[in-house]
Amino acid sequence: MDILVVGSVAFDSIETPFGKGDDVLGGSATYFSTSASFFTGVQLVAVVGDDFPDEPRQFLTSRGVDLAGLQTRPGETFRWNGRYGYDLNEAHTLETHLNVFETFHPQLPEPYRKAEYVFLANIDPELQLEVLRQVERPKLIACDTMNFWIEGKRQELIKTLARVDILVINEGEVRQLADEPNLVKAAEIIRGFGPKTLVVKRGEYGVLMFSEGSIFAAPAYPLEEVFDPTGAGDTFAGGFAGYLAATRNLEERNLRKAIVFGTVMASFTVEKFSLDRLKEIDFKDIETRYKRIKLLTDFADLD
Q: Strands 117-120, 140-143: parallel, antiparallel or unpaired by DSSP?
A: parallel
Can you tell me the distance from the alpha carbon of 281 to that of 226, in angstroms, rounded to the nearest whole number? 16
Q: CB of residue 17 vs a second copy: minimum separation in angstroms? A: 8
User: 95 by DSSP, 3-state: which?
Assistant: strand
CB 176 within 8 A of CB 147: yes
Task: Indicate the residue among 73 and 257 with the shorter CB distance to a second copy.
Answer: 257
- DSSP helix/strand/coil, 208: strand
Of residues 94 and 215, the one with the C-beta less far from a second copy = 215
Q: What minimum distance in Å lies between the beta carbon of 63 and a second copy?
A: 22
Q: How far is the CB of 245 from a second copy (least distance, A)?
A: 17
Q: Compute the distance between CA of residue 95 and CA of residue 115 in angstroms, rounded to an integer.
A: 34
CB 229 within 8 A of CB 88: yes
Q: How far apart are CA 83 and CA 65, in angstroms?
A: 29
User: Which spans of this chain sit near a second copy (rule: CB under 8 A)?
Assistant: 17, 86-87, 181-185, 202, 204-206, 208, 214-219, 222-226, 253, 256-257, 259-260, 287, 290-291, 294-302
How far is residue 171's CA from residue 190's CA, in Å, rounded to a whole number? 12
203 conformational bin, left if phi > 0, alpha if psi -120 to 50, beta if neither: left
**Least distance (Å) between residue 208 CB and a second copy:** 7
Minimum gap (Å) between residue 153 Cβ and a second copy: 25
Nearer to a second copy, 16 or 160 (CB): 16
Nearer to a second copy, 72 or 89 (CB): 89
Residue 184: CB minimum distance to a second copy, A:
5
**Which of 228, 234, 276, 301 is the catalytic position?**
234
Judged on CB neighbours under 10 Å (0-12, 13-18, 19+), 251 is exposed
Is 83 or 159 the residue whose CB approaches a second copy more closely? 83
Q: Cα separations (Å) of 114 from 30, 59, 162, 216, 224?
A: 22, 25, 21, 31, 43
Nearest to 146, CA basis, from 80, 212, 69, 56: 80
Eight-class DSSP state of 52: -
Asked about 54 being catalytic, the answer comes back as no
- Compute the distance between CA of residue 245 and CA of residue 200 in angstroms, rounded to an integer: 20
Output 71 or 247, the one with its CB closest to a second copy.
247
Annotated active-site positions, please? 234
